[in-house]
Amino acid sequence: MKNGVSFILLLAFIFFVFTGCKNNKPDYAELLIIQTTDVHGTIFPFDFIENKPTNHSLASIYNMIKRERQYYKDALILLDNGDYLQGQPTVYYYNFVDTSSLHLAAQVMNFMAYDAASVGNHDLETGHPVYDRYRKQLEMPYLAANVLNKTTGEPYFQPYTVVERQGIRIAVLGLTTPGISNWLPENLWSGMVVADMVETAKKWIPIIQDKENPDLIIGLFHSGVDAKNNTKSQSEFMEENASRLVAEKVLNPVGDTVLLMDAQSHSKSVSKIKVTFQWNNKTNRYNKLYEADVVNVDNESAETLFMETFSTQFEAVKQFCAKPIGEFTHAVDSKDSYFGNSAFIDLVHQVQLDVTGADLSFTDPLSYRTKIDQGPVFVSDLFKLYKYENSLYTLYLTGNEIDKYLEFSYALWFNQMRDKTDHLLRLKQIEVDKFVLEQPYFNFSSAAGIEYLVDVSKPEGNKVQILGLSNGAPFYSDSSYTVALNSYRGSGGGGHLTQGAGLSTEELSRRKITSSEYDMRYYLREWIEDKKIITHKKGTNWRIIPEEYFELGKRKDMKLLFGE
């Protein structure tokens, strides 16, 4: 999981710094830079989770690239900005199921002739065996200057690369979000330290300028822009979304323009930048003109040779996803998860409790809106139930910490309703008749194993009343309980355990009792295959009061969010 980014979701940017020194360089050159980002396994024009064709994919992007290469030839530079190895079953299959073949993601990157890629947080979420294998199979540099070898202090991945086109030298510096150390369990990035982006850029930009004498530096940063940075004069150390901070604070010695670009995720668009270089003898540097745009690929068809080349892999993934694993006697819908107990969430709670034997379970909706219909359940449905490759933790928490955790969650989740006309959920209006959730849906964490009330008429910090354990035993604030939760949350992701319960990341590590060998989809699949017929319905262990406020608020906000 991620914030924002991550999901939280992480934005991806390109950052330009221009330098100059002719040294037999051409008087004029014209380059085209194309960047993909957050592909999340969207390789083919087909959604393997929903089992339907789509109009966006790397196969479609390749059609555009092939056309542009006919015109620009070797003057085209192709880059990817991370979060490639997680999302669609295409990558999951080659991450964890078929681990002996060449990884499909590496084959595609090589086929498309990428010049470089940066490392994303969701790439590292796959674990060392996956991304180390993937990196070795790539025929281009895999960049992250601020991911360091814990023993040597040197970059674990290549920090930067230099590409020469038309006599122009282009350096590409890779950085990734330091939020990785807060979002992912340490075993996934063992032997590594993730350093601050600003400090890392301050180190490497002078090295690149002195050693490589580039005409253009591109920062391939798997990180976003935090709106609060716009009002701050000083950067926050280890800021998760630090792209703008790097652009502002790592000064270009000649004061040139810095351009930040952000394409859409899931192969829906690309960043496209045309740079024209004209040597100026008076200033002894290039005058540069650039035309930048984010280009949608909806109108691009999938490139024929691409689809033919990877047809065997396409069919292997499709067959994997189509395998039946059980049957649901009732549909489950994630939209119900925002309004109390839901079959969608409570099924995950039940699996976590059964697998770990814990006293309690914490979980949240990992998809904003998805549904699994009554009837056969297939492997593809596991990606609807559980979007990310989280493993399963068991921690010791006190009753007081559990209460604070829930108060933190429900403060993010529910508005304080002062009368029946107020919103139930914390919403923000973005258009006249359009509302969205104020907070990321994947931070709406509920509990199973305890009975409790959520009073939406009360202010933050006073909404939750825990009545007792679901087995009938009393619940004590000073007693310790075992709690099952995913690795993102158990590592401090979202702030529920750190800001909410007040535990440091070091203390969280000490509280950890078990960490699962496999990801949650593995255990969901085992559980469903064992039960065969799943009659799971929503639980009744927590409810929202006052009931009249709840019913009216639910009716209003359900319609605003989902039109129902």
We report the CATH number of the domain holding residue 241 as: 3.60.21.10
Query: Is residue 420 domain-resident?
Result: yes
pLDDT of residue 254: 54
**pLDDT number for residue 494:** 93
166 burial type by CB count under 10 A (0-12 exposed, 13-18 middle, 19+ buried): middle
Clarify whether residues 21 and 64 are in a common domain: yes
- Residues 533 and 411 reside in one and the same domain: yes
Exposed/middle/buried for residue 216 (C-beta within 10 Å: 0-12, 13-18, 19+): buried
Nearest CA among 302, 173, 182 for reference residue 250: 173
The total number of residues written for the chain in this structure: 564
Residues 310 and 349 in one domain: no
For 496, residues 6+ apart whose C-beta sits below 8 A from its C-beta are 362, 405, 408, 409, 443, 445, 489
Residue 6 lies in a domain: no
Q: Quick check: is 4 in a domain?
A: no
Q: Which of these, 1, 27, 37, 31, lies nearest to 16 by C-alpha position? A: 31
Question: Given 285, 318, 351, which residue is the final one in a domain?
Answer: 318
pLDDT of 9: 26
- 181-201 pLDDT, tens digit per residue, is 888 888 899 999 999 999 999
Q: Are residues 304 and 343 in the same domain?
A: no
58/88 same-domain check: yes
Domain with 59 in it: 12-318
Q: Are residues 220 and 359 in the same domain?
A: no
Domain boundary among 297, 318, 339: 318
Residue 1 burial (CB count, 10 A): 28
Alpha helices in 184-242 (DSSP H): 197-212
412 with 501, same domain: the answer is: yes
Classify burial at 237, counting beta carbons within 10 Å of its beta carbon; exposed 0-12, middle 13-18, buried 19 or more: exposed
Q: How many helices (H) and strands (E) does the chain have?
A: 17, 29
Q: Is 464 in contact with 453 (CB distance < 8 Å)?
A: yes
Structural domain contains residue 3: no
Does residue 23 belong to any structural domain of this protein?
yes
pLDDT at 21: 64
User: What is the pLDDT, as a whole number, of residue 5?
Assistant: 24
For residue 27, tell me if it sits in a domain: yes
Can you give the pLDDT of all 564 residues of the chain as single tens digits?
A: 333 222 222 345 566 655 556 678 899 999 999 999 999 999 999 999 999 999 999 999 999 999 999 999 999 999 999 999 999 999 999 999 999 999 999 999 999 999 999 999 999 999 999 999 999 999 999 999 999 999 999 999 999 999 999 999 999 999 999 999 888 888 899 999 999 999 999 999 999 999 999 999 999 999 988 755 444 444 478 888 888 888 878 755 455 667 888 899 999 999 999 999 999 999 888 988 989 999 999 889 999 999 999 999 999 999 999 999 999 999 999 999 999 999 999 999 999 999 999 999 999 999 999 999 999 999 999 999 999 999 999 999 999 999 999 999 999 999 999 999 999 999 999 988 899 999 999 999 999 999 999 999 999 999 999 999 999 999 999 999 999 999 999 999 999 999 999 999 899 999 999 999 999 999 999 999 999 999 978 899 999 999 999 999 999 999 999 987
Domain final residue, candidates 318, 352, 386 = 318
**112 and 22 together in one domain:** yes
Q: Rounded to whole angstroms, how far apart are CA atoms 333 and 385?
A: 9
Whether residue 308 sits in one domain with residue 332: no
End-to-end CA distance of the chain: 28
Q: What letter represents residue 519's amino acid? A: D
CATH number of the domain bearing residue 328 = 3.90.780.10
- Is 5 a domain residue? no
CA-closest candidate to residue 496, choices 405, 365, 414:
405
Structural domain count, the chain: 2
Cα-to-chain-centroid distance, residue 522: 20
Looking at the structure, do residues 408 and 527 belong to the same domain, yes or no?
Answer: yes
Answer yes or no: do 305 and 423 share one domain. Answer: no
Q: Are residues 303 and 382 in the same domain?
A: no
Could you report the per-residue pLDDT of 280-298, keeping only the tens digit for each? 999 888 988 989 999 999 8
